[in-house]
Chain A
Amino acid sequence: LAKTTQPISMDSYEGQEVNITCSHNNIATNDYITWYQQFPSQGPRFIIQGYKTKVTNEVASLFIPADRKSSTLSLPRVSLSDTAVYYCLVGEGSNYQLIWGAGTKLIIKP
């Protein structure tokens, strides 16, 4: 299972675009990249998933370079309610759920 590395914490301000990068140098051919968000006292919630290039949904975008050794979660125009911990996971099938790091604690300031 591929190990991921992401910043422990980040700060930003309301209205800014926030980019959180995750490194996964040992990603395997069949692995997908998945991001979750967790608010205090709640369980994690799926945000976005991708395999290569770019994926966009109503919440975020995920950028994956050609070598797939890293990925960047992009949150457009953040608000205070985006303050949460963001987790990057890598794997395939059921296995992608098995290893969770400490995540990135994102704090949005007014």
Chain B
Amino acid sequence: GAGVSQSPRYKVTKRGQDVALRCDPISGHVSLYWYRQALGQGPEFLTYFNYEAQQDKSGLPNDRFSAERPEGSISTLTIQRTEQRDSAMYRCASSLGPRDNSEAFFGQGTRLTVV
């Protein structure tokens, strides 16, 4: 696609429910990153993929968070048993590849609100 697409743009869910956030990166981009961003703060790294392989998941806050990118393109970030503290903007970015210091292109984000 022309840019990184995230869906849904907004998600309101009840505490305890599972949510799945989707990221469709720029076609041909090898690297895909997930971040969480609180208001007034910089992006907080969660995890990233090169192709379908999850390279680093050290930023995932706990085992309720997981991510996959099964075919090396679209990625899903899943939060199980959501809690109010999970409310944030979740951002996805993609870049050409892991070896060059290529720029990351960000999506518009998914605003998650847990009530």
Q: Which A positions have Cβ atoms within 8 angstroms of B?
A: 32, 34, 42-46, 49, 85, 87, 91-94, 96-103
Contact of B93 among A49, A97, A102 (CB under 8 A): A97
Interface residues of B in 16-60 (CB under 8 A from A): 31, 33, 35, 40-45, 48, 50, 55-56, 59
Contacts of A45 on B, CB cut-off 8 Å?
106
CB pair B101–A44 under 8 Å, yes or no, is no
Residue on B nearest A101 in the bound complex, by CB: B42
With an 8 A cutoff between CB atoms, is B87 at the interface?
A: no
- Show the binding face of B for A, using Cβ within 8 Å: 4, 31, 33, 35, 40-45, 48, 50, 55-56, 59, 91, 93, 95, 98-101, 103-109
Nearest CB in chain B to that of A47: its residue: B103
CA distance A3 to B98 in the complex (A): 20
Contact check: which of B42, B55, B59, B105 meets A94 at CB < 8 Å? B55
Contacts of B33 in A (CB 8 A): 97
Cβ–Cβ contact B106 & A103, under 8 A? no
Q: Which residue of B lies closest to A40 (CB)?
A: B39
Given contact pairs A43-B93, A49-B101, A94-B50, enumerate 20 new A-B contacts (beta carbons under 8 Å).
A42-B106, A43-B4, A43-B107, A45-B106, A46-B103, A46-B104, A49-B103, A91-B101, A92-B101, A96-B101, A97-B93, A97-B95, A97-B104, A98-B56, A99-B45, A100-B45, A102-B40, A102-B41, A102-B42, A103-B42
Inter-chain CA distance A91–B33, complex, in Å, is 15
Ranked nearest first, the 9 interchain pairs of A and B with the lowest CB-CB distance are A43-B106, A46-B103, A100-B42, A94-B98, A32-B101, A100-B43, A98-B45, A102-B42, A103-B42
